[in-house]
Structure 1
Amino acid sequence: MRPWLRERAGIRGWLSETAGGLPATYWYLWTGTLINRAGGFVVVYLTIYLTTVQHFSSTEAGLVLGLWAAGGAVGTMIGGIAADRIGRRPSLLAAHLGACGLLVSLAFAQGLAAIAVLTFLFGLVAESARPAFQAMMIDVVPERDRLRAFTLTYWAVNVGFAVAATVAGLVAKADPKLIFMVDAATTLVPFLLILFKIREPRRIRPAAVADVPVGPEPGLSAVLRDRVFIGFVLLNVLVAFVFMQHLSTLPIAMTRDGIPPQQYGLVIALNGVLIVAGQLFIPRLIKEYDRSKVLAVASLIIGLGFGLTAFADSAGFYAVTVLIWTVGEMLNSPSNSTLIAALSPAAMRGRYQGMMSLSWSVAGFAAPVLGGWVQQHLGDEVLWLGCALVAAVAAGAQLWAGPARERRAAALRAM
């Protein structure tokens, strides 16, 4: 066989191994995610918009971003319950349509009170889609394919994020209102795909799960009694708190160092570019390793990247730190997602996904509020070195908790 034919066959084999055999419903969800994230300018640009266009202080901007996360915390719990009770599809449709309307409202809002309320509601409605989306993915993708499916989805999210981070500054320069209007338009795309192309997955009846008692109508109390899973959620809060600094305190630190918003967008876009280039190779790299060990290594790398930010003073140095913590993110995401799926009883996937999403919302609230306070009163060095310490503690705890989590996952598989 000629070399170019062997190379072509090798590429086809890799594509088949990476993306082949996944159900059509998954690909509709994947396409909607890609388009929606490519227009997701608001979260990327919100801190800069609030401080430069609305002239909010760092504390006020941190409060608004914290309210977005607080709304998300409420929304993920509502969304998780709704996904299990009324279904994945209606929950997703309501969330996307509501988010679209709130984004249009934010485009014309003025003043701290109005923007704060609308941002809270936007976080609530938009984040209520997360548990239903994740639960539907687990419903339609067999367990053997979930590592690939979660990796492909995360890849799509970051393709979109790279586009959004690169283009948001240019769009805002033309007209700041466009960052909200374009985001609203791309939020309609997954709404339409779900409306016309996706049917509700088959519902699964509740059953007793490992050592967690589940009644005929399981509620959040059953999730809260699952100590193994709740421990995993609390560890994710620590890692997410460190990671979420890139949306809140990092742009403020870079602005203080004289780096303009357009360069911030390019630096942070490196996160998406690296994930786009390398994420699809991660499943082959980590599939033979214990998930908790991978999560521990990921936490250490994330901590290293953010810790080095304490010494950054130029766009180039900041870019290096972004590349480092991005490697940790690439290792963390698929292992985290597959472990959540393994620990989630089939009839309660919405609630379990909602509880895990809550950890991101809690971190999203704490990151700008607590991180902003530390940054303002104690300085950047304390903030970034503190992030490194938090990540190191999380890494040690991941190793300690790993065996119990794998025993729980094995018990659920056996059922």
Structure 2
Amino acid sequence: MIRLRSAAESTFGGLPGAFWWLWIGTLVNRIGGFVLPFFAFYVTGPLHRSAALAGAVAALFGAGAAVSGVVGGVLADRIGRKPTLVGSQLANAVTIVVLGYARSPWALALGALMVGLATNAFRPAQNAMIADMVPVGDRVRAYALNFWAINLGFSFSMAAVGLVTQFGYRTLFYADAATTTLCALLIAVLVPDSTPVATVRARASSSAKRDGDGHSRDGLGTVLRDRTFVAFVATTFLLLIVFMQINAALPMAMSASGLSAAQFGRISAINGVLIVLLQMPVTRLLKRYREGRVLAGAGLVIGAGFGLLAFGQSIEMYVLCVVVMTLGEIGNTPTGQAVSARLSQDHLRGRYQGVYQLAWTLSQVVAPLVGGVVISAYGGTPLWIGCFAVTALTALAFLRIGKQVERRVAVARSAEVEQTRQAQSSAQIADGQQPEFATA
């Protein structure tokens, strides 16, 4: 009983109340996330459109999401975390309802693009807000809890989608929009804006920081000139191209092996179930290790999951692949978000998170292309071996990036100590006292 209470406290204790309201909003939003997972089925099924159109619509959604992630990050820094969160959620609810009335190919394409432009602006603002309100030592746990809420809500929505469709497919769109609106209201009423004072000051003084062409020098350019962060995003992108094969090459391979769509659905569901069951216990175990090592190890585990398929493609091997790969995902996702927050400056945190989101959105576009081309040209086995080889390279990169992050954090801490020392010394001199740490 004591050990159970201790585990619960180490998992849920010590986080600010505002974080939990944000967490509840995320859970509510994901519980109603009916539309996007089933949109391709909706287009090819009830609407009787072609698979080519479904793929094109999905690509337009991905393009919109890639743009909105960066725009949402910029807005989170410029107008604040909370306004961006609430505004993007309300815009998302409206565009989802409009998409529910689209029928022609052009309307479906435009509707999917608009949903993509609205939906992903939420993520960088949310991740920046978590970094604002949660101390550095608890951020991996906070991001893990947020990731847990996403998967818990997703599991519930997938279980409930059959019940909802009994009232007609348009009900999916209304239910999704309703929970998205409820999430926005929860944040608007119960979550204070966490935008740091440094961000507000930087915004107020931005006119003094403009170059001769009138452009601010302290914006996305600053993020893109951060070599450590750009290397981190690029490495994450390579790893995610491998990870996203779970939705790209894996279903192709299962179909070629004679497995049905129902069997693919049941095997894929293992991913969400394991995250719900293991995310927080595994996060507690990994807390003792440095972030660079966690990212490197998690990447290797993801690659090993896919690499197992080089030894056989039975239903048991597919199950084992998903289990192993999910363990790597559990270690990678919250740790990667925490590293992104650690590398960012307070007043640019939204932009950092927006650029980090690009690794996720672009990988969703590139992964199906890579997986499809390799399987068509060479078959599955070279792809699975290649997946492991790529993750081995990313592991080496993450180890190096981890050392750079640690050095940067140490320099920042030294600078903070020096600033504190100088401030104390100045205060003592102003009071006519001899500074305590003055040297002879």
TM class by shorter chain equals 0.7 to 0.9
Structure-1 separation of matches of 2:209 and 2:255? 53
- Counterpart AA for 2:99: L
2:114 maps to 1:121 = yes
Give me the TM-score of the superposition, normalised by structure 2. Answer: 0.83
Q: 1:197 aligns with which of 190, 197, 207?
A: 190
Tell me if structure 1 keeps the 8 A contact 2:60–2:112: yes
- Counterpart AA for 1:331: G
- Where does structure 1 lack aligned partners over 5 or more consecutive residues? 1-6, 209-213
Root-mean-square deviation over aligned CA pairs: 2.7
Name whichever of 216-225 and 158-167 sits farther off.
Answer: 158-167
1:235-274 to structure 2, matched below 5 A, reads: 235-255=235-255, 257-274=257-274
1:312-351 to structure 2, matched below 5 A, reads: 315-351=315-351
- Counterpart AA for 1:359: A
- Where does structure 2 lack aligned partners over 5 or more consecutive residues? 203-207, 211-215, 417-440
* 1:54-87 per-position Cα deviation (integer Å, ceiling 9, x unaligned): 5555554433322222111100111011000001
Q: 2:96 aligns with which of 98, 103, 106?
A: 103
1:290-305 to structure 2, matched below 5 A, reads: 290-305=290-305
2:28 maps to 1:21 = no
Tell me if structure 2 keeps the 8 A contact 1:162–1:271: no
Structure-2 separation of matches of 1:150 and 1:244? 20
- Identify the residue that residue 277 of structure 2 maps to in structure 1: 277
The higher relative CO (CA closer than 8 Å, separation ≥ 6) is in 1
Structure-2 separation of matches of 1:103 and 1:73? 18
Deviation of the 1:174 alpha carbon: 6.8
1:210-221 to structure 2, matched below 5 A, reads: 218-221=218-221
* 1:326-369 per-position Cα deviation (integer Å, ceiling 9, x unaligned): 00001112221221121111111001011101111111221234
Give me the TM-score of the superposition, normalised by structure 1. Answer: 0.88
- Identify the residue that residue 412 of structure 1 maps to in structure 2: 412
Deviation of the 1:10 alpha carbon: 2.3
Tell me if structure 1 keeps the 8 A contact 2:283–2:331: no
1:329-408 to structure 2, matched below 5 A, reads: 329-376=329-376, 378-408=378-408
Shift of the 162–64 alpha-carbon distance from structure 1 to 2, 3 Å rule, reads same
Structure-2 separation of matches of 1:283 and 1:355? 25
Structure-2 separation of matches of 1:198 and 1:286? 29
Structure-2 separation of matches of 1:255 and 1:362? 25
Name whichever of 45-54 and 179-188 sits farther off.
Answer: 45-54
Structure-2 separation of matches of 1:305 and 1:55? 36
Q: Secondary structure at the match of 1:205?
A: helix
2:165 maps to 1:141 = no
- Identify the residue that residue 211 of structure 1 maps to in structure 2: none
- Counterpart AA for 1:336: G
Tell me if structure 1 keeps the 8 A contact 2:129–2:195: no
Name whichever of 399-408 and 365-374 sits farther off.
Answer: 365-374
1:57-206 to structure 2, matched below 5 A, reads: 59-168=52-161, 171=164, 175-205=168-198
Tell me if structure 1 keeps the 8 A contact 2:295–2:336: yes
Tell me if structure 2 keeps the 8 A contact 1:69–1:364: yes
- Counterpart AA for 1:136: M
- Counterpart AA for 1:156: A
Structure-2 separation of matches of 1:388 and 1:166? 33
Deviation of the 1:126 alpha carbon: 0.5
Tell me if structure 1 keeps the 8 A contact 2:80–2:195: no
- Identify the residue that residue 39 of structure 1 maps to in structure 2: 32
Larger Rg: 2
